[in-house]
Amino acid sequence: MLSVSDSSHRLVALGLGVAIAAAVTSCSSPDQPAGTTAGGPASADSAATREPAAPANSPLQVVAQFREPQIVGVAVLPDGRMFGDFPRWDNNPVAPIAEIGPDDSVKPYPDASWCMWNETTRNEPQKHWICPQSVYADKAGMLWVVDPASPGLQGTVPGGPKLVKIDPKTNKVVQNISIPESVASRKSYLNDVRIDTQNNYAYLTESGVGSLVVVDLKSGKARKLLAMHASMMGDTTLNIKADGHEMIDPTGKRARINADGIALSQDLQYLYWKPLTSYKLYRIKTEALRNPALTDAQLAQQIEDLGQVPACDGMEIDATNNLYLTAFEDNSIKRRTPAGKIETVVQDPRLEWPDTFAFTADGTMYVTTSAIHKTPTWNKGVGQQDQPYRIFKMALPK
């Protein structure tokens, strides 16, 4: 167990705004009761009147909302089934991966055993969600879960980092790929994933060290690429803000969040990524990433700097290769056209840290709000979560 001081520095190193009270309490243990936070109920010091109202013309529809725990990711299947990701950052949700019902209910997924994490399950880190970060539906309708296995971001549980494939038709795990410590070190934090169903590869961002991880889904072999390359690293000189407030951690340091957002072009030829605290966008040919003969130096020569884009958390690409970005600095969703033009899709004060997308084949966009900027880490140890965490949907613009 890290000390409180070490934990705070780890938060800075990993650069993720999680709700952990500064210098007062360490991250919750796996045995902390579900639905609680490190500092008590999220809304204890908040007034409902502070919750932003919906603009009259907003195209966003609320699909689901939760007071606690904090949601990060969402996945939606062709039949409409919806799944959410509730990481073990500062609480111990009963359903860290959940199927979400129409009444905002959450059902542990794929079952209660997978969602259990406590002292009795620590000897089976590959059979339980430890701190899942991403849930994603591929084009074949399979669900994938990324588990960086770093509860409270205090360092990975040995043997825990994994990429798991679930068949929603049977609700059974059909592939469980352990990511070795040589790829996902103790300081790592696997973040988001895209699946190439044609070539059978997975591409992941890793935010702790700052790298890409490429997994051959046939062999299960994972490789860490471009670790700490400039294109992977967050920039602390930008004064990144949310709700008009600069992101400053309890030690007085600016937020530094490394490789985070990721997207795969429709033809599967390019992988896009960006550090969260950065205004830079990058891409590389996936063919290069799949070539194990190429060194990091050779890969670096193939990285394309696509110039300035808004700071964002999540990214996704639509059928016509517009790149969508969850632009948390101004509560909006923006897109970058194939020609490089930046357009605002929707701006709504309820988009309190828009986080992760899910696009469906019928042209619907789903997006979560995680209010990361309101957690204690970025508010001098006092949580400001005065709103529900939400899943919105809207039709993708033509």
Percent of the chain scoring above 70 in pLDDT? 87
pLDDT at 11: 40
Asked if residue 47 is part of any domain, the answer here is no
DSSP structure string for 78-104: TT--EEEE---SSS--S-SEEEEPTTS
pLDDT of residue 249: 87
Length of the chain: 398
Q: What angle do CA 299, 148, 83 make, to 5 degrees?
A: 110
Q: Is residue 105 part of a domain?
A: yes
CATH code for position 216? 2.120.10.30
Q: How many CB atoms lie within 10 A of CB 32?
A: 18
pLDDT at residue 217, rounded to an integer: 98
- Whether residue 72 is contained in a domain is answered as yes
Structural domain tally of the chain?
1
- Please report whether residue 269 resides in a domain: yes
pLDDT at 31: 34
Give the Cα separation of 23 and 67 in Å (integer).
Answer: 25
Q: What integer pLDDT is reported at residue 250 of this predicted model?
A: 86
Low-confidence ranges of the chain (pLDDT < 70): 1-50
Whether the CB-CB separation of 34 and 69 falls below 8 Å is answered with yes
Residue 51's pLDDT is what?
A: 77
254 domain-assigned: yes
Give the pLDDT confidence of 235-277 residue by residue, as tens digits: 989 989 998 889 998 889 999 999 999 999 999 999 999 999 9
Place of tokens 């209910």: 105
144 within domain boundaries: yes
In a domain, 385, yes or no: yes
> What global pTM score does this model have?
0.88
**Cα distance from N-terminal residue to C-terminal residue, the chain:** 51
The answer to whether residue 121 sits within a structural domain is: yes
Parent domain of 259: 4-42+55-395
What does 18-61 look like in DSSP terms, one character per residue? ----TTT-PPPPTTSPTT--TTS-TTTT--GGGSPPPPTT---E
* Local structure of 187: helix, strand or coil: coil
